Amino acid sequence: MSLAALVLVVGAAGLHAGWNAIAKRGGDPVVFLWLATLFSTTALLPLGAWYLVTDGLPAAALPFVAATIVLHAVYFYALGRAYASGAYSLVYPVARGLGVALVPILARVLFDERLSTLGTAGVGLVVAGIVTLHRLPAGAALTVAATPRQALVWPVVTGLTIAGYSLVDKAGVARLNPIPYIFLLEGGCALLGLPLLRTRRDAIRREARGWRTVVLAALMSTLAYTLVLFAFQLSKTGYVVASRELSIVLSAVIGSLWLREGRLAPRLTGAVIVLGGVVCIALAR
C-alpha cells in the first residue's frame, strides 16, 4: 500500500469515527443522518456540478452511481436504526468488521485482487482485533429498550451494505472522478430520504435545532469518504477497507471515555491488534 493511500485512509478513519460518535448522540439518528446528507449535498453542489458540466457524466459510470445511491441509502437507514438500539462500542466494531471480512474475499472474486501473504495476515489481524473489541462487559452494549438479538440485527445489515458499496465504489471511481461521484451519491440519498418529511416531522424539527452539530457531522462524513474514494484509485480495495478500520481504535477510546459505555482496557487490547494489522497492510505490496 502506498504512503499516499495510507495517509488518505488514516485521515478518513479519524473523521469517520468522529462523525459516527456525533450521530450516535443524535435524538433520532436516522433523521440526523438524513439532515447531514442534505447539507453535504448542498455543500458539494458547486464543485460537483462544475465537474459534471466540465467533464460530463460517462454512461459507463451510471450503473455504479445508481447502485451506490441505493446501497448508501440502506446503509444510512440501517446505521441510524443500529445507533437507536445499540451502543456505539457495539455497533461500530460489528458494522465495520463485516466490511473488513467480506470485502477482500469479494474483491478477489470480482476484481481478481490477490492479497499478499503479509496483506492477508494484516486483514486477519484487523478482524481478530475487532472480535476482541466486541467482547464487551455484559449489558454494556445495549440500550434499555434493546435485546442482544435486536442490538445486532442492524449493525449486521450495516456491515453488509458497507461491503456492497465498497466494491461498487471501487469500480465507480475508476469511471468517474470522486468529487462528482460523491456529490451524486449524497444527492441521491437525500432524495430517497424525502419520505421522512412526512413520517418524522417532529424529529426533523428537533434535530434541526442542533444544526451546527449536523453541519459538523456532514462535513466530516463527506470529507472522510472523499478521502477513501481517492485512496481506492491508489490501492487495492481490501487494503483500503482494512486500513480504514484504524477508526475502530478511536471508537474504542471514544466509546469508553466520551460516551461512557464501558471499560477502556479491553478496548485498548483489541486496538493494539488492529494496529498490528494496519501496519502489515501498509507494508504489503
pLDDT at 145 over 60: no
Whether the CB-CB separation of 125 and 243 falls below 8 Å is answered with no
Q: Where are the domains of the chain?
A: 3-283
Q: Contact at 8 Å (CB) between 30 and 214?
A: no
∠ CA 159-161-164, nearest 5°, is: 115
pLDDT range class, residue 141, cuts 50, 70, 90:
very low
For the segment 58-65, the average pLDDT, to the nearest whole number, is 95
| Dist CA 239 CA 123 (whole Å) | 8
Average pLDDT over residues 277-281: 75
Please count the residues of the chain: 285
Q: Where are the alpha helices (DSSP H) in 135-174?
A: 148-172
**Which set of grid coordinates corresponds to residue 120?**
492477508
Alpha carbon distance 36, 40 (integer Å): 6
If one compares 215 and 124, the residue with the highest pLDDT of the two is: 215
pLDDT (0 to 100) of residue 163: 84
Task: Provide the pLDDT for residue 59.
Answer: 94
What pTM does this model have? 0.80
Grid coordinates in use for 285? 505490496
| Helical segments of the chain, H only | 3-24, 29-55, 62-85, 88-110, 117-134, 148-172, 178-192, 196-199, 201-209, 211-232, 237-244, 247-253, 265-283
Q: How far is CA 279 from CA 123, 216, 245, 262, in A?
A: 10, 30, 12, 27
Instruction: Find the mean pLDDT for residues 168-175.
Output: 90
The pLDDT-based confidence of 198 (bands split at 50, 70, 90) is confident
As to burial, measured by CB atoms within 10 angstroms (0-12 exposed, 13-18 middle, 19+ buried), residue 167 is buried
Residue range 266-272: mean pLDDT, rounded: 76
CA–CA separation, 165 vs 143, rounded Å?
28
How many angstroms separate the CA atoms of 89 and 116, rounded?
31
Give per-residue pLDDT as tens, 2-47.
Answer: 788 888 888 998 999 999 899 888 889 999 999 999 999 999 999 9
Three-state DSSP state, 142: strand
